[in-house]
Amino acid sequence: MSRRILIIEDEPDIREVAAASLELTRGWEVLTAPSGPTGVQRARLEQPDAILLDVMMPGMDGTETFGILRGAEDTTGIPVILMTAKVQRAERERFAAMGVDGLIPKPFDPMTLGDEIDRLLGWSA
């Protein structure tokens, strides 16, 4: 099944690698946004199947962006997976308490990124 994924990531190289990975290994349609505000706008307009959201971004960070997405009626049901280099136990627990749908550590393996998303969201490959 073809999926639509929105990647909200401020680093162009990471955004491009993740997008290319999901397009090439899964054939998914990938939408991108370079910031939290742009990502929220794209999520509301495009209604993707899932969102990959960077935690550390300038301005509106990933946790603030997540809060806005969860607080809006039209985006509250979209699964959100955080991407972060902060994977200590305390951070994992904080993110889980926020209600995120999953966590992907950075750096991620582009060849298995789609598999990881499938696993976290319970999608069959």
pLDDT digits 0-9 by tens, 55-111: 999 999 999 999 999 999 999 999 999 999 877 787 888 888 889 999 999 999 999
Instruction: Quote the percentage of the chain above a pLDDT of 70.
Output: 98
* Per-residue pLDDT band at 114 (split at 50, 70, 90): very high
pTM over 0.85: yes
Query: Quick one: average pLDDT of 105-125?
Result: 92
Confirm if 86 and 54 have CB atoms less than 8 A apart.
no
CATH architecture of 4-117: 3-Layer(aba) Sandwich (3.40)
Domain ranges of the chain: 4-117
Query: Quick one: average pLDDT of 11-32?
Result: 97
Confirm if 43 and 30 have CB atoms less than 8 A apart.
no
What is the structure's pLDDT at 1? 66
- CA–CA separation, 124 and 72 (whole Å): 28
Instruction: Quote the percentage of the chain above a pLDDT of 90.
Output: 85
Residue with the two structure tokens 């162009």: 12
Residue with the two structure tokens 């749908």: 101
Q: Which burial class, exposed, middle or buried, applies to 120 when counting CB atoms under 10 A from its CB (0-12, 13-18, 19+)?
A: middle
Query: Quick one: average pLDDT of 7-18?
Result: 97
CA distances from 115 to 1, 53, 94, 105, 123 (A): 14, 17, 24, 14, 9
